[in-house]
């Protein structure tokens, strides 16, 4: 479909369906411009349909699963419809899977790590590409083996069979991201699943970045390439109201005791006994984030209506454009290289001689462009992509431990949403050209505790926004 002019027309239509895309912001020099949001990998704006759906849901907003009144029953219906939508979106309606609402991906991984039965000597395979959300919860729970990335930063899945073999019989889980939030590289999760299953392990996919950009099929539970567990966040899927989901085998969540315990999770409680409810209820103790879940369901319905494959095709077109424009800027180096295959629209780069935090500050204050700079909660991966040596990493660690963040390594990330346009990338290009030539409108100073750059006069400019 690349080159299909209809995709651009679609993008213009989709743009109309997103809230806040024409928002005006004030710049450092007092001028005004329409904000360009290229920070969608962090959080996406709201879809209009989600906003409407929420307004309606608020009219009947009430408790779920507990009240006998009309509003409570209706709210419970909407909550459960959202749950069904999550399973539909992932092709996981075989009845063997269950969707559990969480706050976000981070909570979902923590829940899974807390509940996954692991004993001394068990191994969990992670990768060097992971976001901290899929690194830290597993540490201390099992022996960790890391799947390496290659020189480009792509996951070396070819090393997985050997790794599984090396720890034969001890690997209980392979937990990898579906797509990187740094390079945008997409991993072959079904190959990884097949390998894991062949060695008696299960697979978890952190789909925080994959779900907003690619059609996901968890596949029938008895398919060798099926995904056992998967998590994602609503706020990266145009429904930023604090919901997320963990999807996994219903039977798994019947075992043991839930991590979170309290009301709503039980069938019976006496002073010394408890009978836990069936999943998903037993995994959702306490009053859930009903509106967040309803928003997520509405967003997923909207994305389906737009056409997930068409969204993918348009994003690829825009990714090619972004990579091409970045390639024109002297001194820009894209982390992981310029290849566009198997890559979502998240591209991180460095600009020779200009600290990434300074680039990001100038883009924001002088050009009205929102990006993110730093290590994107994937410190090991970014340090690897920046080719930092072990002594350099150790030195940085000591500086940071002392509260000194002036030399933070990192990159600038431009990440695409379904509403972004070529003209917005042109603005990024113009801004980077200026920055690469040292043309700043402001005088910037670094804040050592945060590593962020602030222009002189920022306070006044901010207070008059
Ligand atoms: C790949 C990946 N995993 C996990 C997360 C964590 O998501 P959340 O902050 O919504 O829990 C992110 C967020 O950026 C991410 O990009």
Task: Give the residue, by CA position, lying nearest to ligand 1 atom 15.
Answer: 208
Which runs of E-coded beta strand occur in 217-304? Answer: 229-233, 244-249, 266-270, 273-276
Kindly report, residue by residue over 261-276, the tens digit of the pLDDT. Answer: 999 999 999 999 999 9
User: In terms of Cα–Cα distance, which of 182, 188, 184 is closest to 203?
Assistant: 188
Kindly report, residue by residue over 96-126, the tens digit of the pLDDT. Answer: 999 999 999 999 999 999 999 999 999 999 9
**Ligand 1-lining residues (CB < 6 angstroms):** 104-106, 131, 133-134, 177, 181, 206, 208-209, 233, 235
Q: Is residue 423 predicted with pLDDT exceeding 50? A: yes
Adjacency order of strands within the sheet including 143-147:
97-102, 244-249, 229-233, 202-206, 171-177, 123-127, 143-147
- Domains delineated in the chain: 5-45+307-463 (3.90.1150.10), 48-305 (3.40.640.10)
User: In terms of Cα–Cα distance, which of 46, 37, 11 is closest to 367?
Assistant: 37
Taking the CA atoms of 57, 99, 381 and 325 in sequence, report the sign of the dihedral they define: negative
> What is the pLDDT at residue 226?
98
Q: Is 304 exposed, middle or buried (0-12, 13-18, 19+ CB in 10 A)?
A: middle
Determine the number of helices (DSSP H) and then strands (DSSP E) in the chain.
Answer: 13, 19
> What is the percentage of the chain residues whose pLDDT exceeds 70?
98
Neighbour-count burial for 186-196, b at 16+ CB within 10 Å, e otherwise: bbbbbebbbbb
Cα of 220 from ligand 1 centre, angstroms:
26
What residue has token string 């992971």? 130
User: In terms of Cα–Cα distance, which of 420, 428, 288 is closest to 351?
Assistant: 428
Kindly report, residue by residue over 294-312, the tens digit of the pLDDT. Answer: 999 999 999 999 999 999 9
371 touches 363 (CB < 8 A): yes
- The answer to whether the peptide bond before residue 21 is cis (omega within 30 degrees of 0) is no
Q: What are 231's strand-pairing partners?
A: 206, 246
Catalytic residue selected from 237, 377, 396, 418: 377
pTM exceeding 0.75: yes
Q: Is residue 4 predicted with pLDDT exceeding 70? A: no
Average pLDDT value for residue range 347-372? 97
Q: Is residue 3 predicted with pLDDT exceeding 80? A: no
Residue of 105, 348, 378 to mutate, ligand 1, most atoms within 8 A of C-beta: 105
Average pLDDT value for residue range 57-80? 92
Known active-site residue 377 = yes
pLDDT tier at 406, thresholds 50, 70, 90: confident
> What is the percentage of the chain residues whose pLDDT exceeds 90?
92
Average pLDDT value for residue range 34-53? 98
Cα of 135 from ligand 1 centre, angstroms:
11
pLDDT tier at 2, thresholds 50, 70, 90: very low
């Amino acid at each position: 479909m690349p080159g299909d002019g209809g995709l651009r027309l679609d993008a213009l239509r989709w743009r109309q369906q997103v809230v806040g895309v024409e928002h005006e912001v004030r710049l450092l020099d007092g001028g005004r411009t329409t904000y360009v949001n290229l920070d969608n990998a962090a959080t996406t704006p709201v879809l209009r349909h989600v906003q409407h759906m929420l307004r309606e849901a608020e009219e009947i907003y009430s408790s779920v699963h507990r009240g006998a009144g009309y509003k409570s029953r209706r709210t419970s219906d909407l909550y459960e419809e959202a749950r069904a939508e999550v399973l539909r979106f992932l092709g996981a309606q075989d009845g063997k899977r269950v969707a559990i609402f969480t706050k976000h991906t981070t909570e979902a991984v923590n829940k899974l790590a807390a509940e996954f039965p692991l004993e001394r000597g068990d191994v969990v395979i992670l990768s060097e590409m992971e976001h901290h959300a899929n690194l830290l919860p597993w540490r201390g729970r099992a022996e960790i083996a890391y799947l390496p990335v290659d020189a480009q930063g792509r996951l070396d899945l070819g090393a997985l069979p050997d790794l599984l073999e090396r720890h034969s019989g001890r690997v209980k889980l392979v937990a990898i991201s579906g797509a990187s939030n740094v390079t945008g590289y997409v991993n072959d999760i079904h190959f990884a699943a097949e390998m894991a299953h062949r060695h008696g392990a299960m697979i978890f996919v952190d789909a925080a970045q994959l779900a907003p950009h690619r059609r996901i099929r968890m596949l029938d539970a008895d398919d060798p390439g099926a995904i056992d567990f998967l998590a994602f966040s609503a706020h990266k899927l145009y429904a930023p109201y604090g919901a997320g989901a963990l999807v996994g085998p219903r039977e798994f969540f019947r075992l043991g005791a839930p991590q979170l315990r309290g009301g709503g999770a039980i069938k019976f409680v006496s002073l010394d006994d408890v009978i836990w409810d069936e999943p998903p209820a037993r995994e959702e103790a306490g009053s859930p984030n009903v509106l967040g879940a309803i928003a997520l369901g509405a967003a997923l319905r909207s994305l389906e209506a737009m056409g997930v494959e068409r969204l993918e095709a348009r994003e690829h077109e825009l990714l090619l454009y972004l990579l091409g424009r970045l390639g024109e800027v002297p001194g820009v180096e894209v982390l992981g290289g310029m290849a566009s295959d198997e890559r979502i629209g998240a591209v991180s780069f460095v600009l020779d001689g200009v600290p990434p935090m300074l680039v990001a500050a100038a883009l924001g204050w002088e050009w009205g462009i929102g990006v993110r700079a730093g290590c994107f909660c994937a410190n090991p991966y970014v340090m690897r992509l920046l080719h930092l040596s072990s002594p350099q990493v150790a030195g940085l660690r000591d500086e940071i431990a002392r509260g000194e963040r002036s030399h933070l390594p990192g990159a600038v990330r431009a990440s695409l949403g379904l509403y972004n346009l070529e003209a917005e990338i042109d603005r990024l290009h113009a801004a980077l050209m200026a920055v690469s030539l040292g043309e700043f409108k402001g005088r910037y100073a670094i804040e050592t505790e945060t590593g962020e750059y602030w222009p002189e006069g920022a306070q006044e400019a901010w207070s008059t926004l």
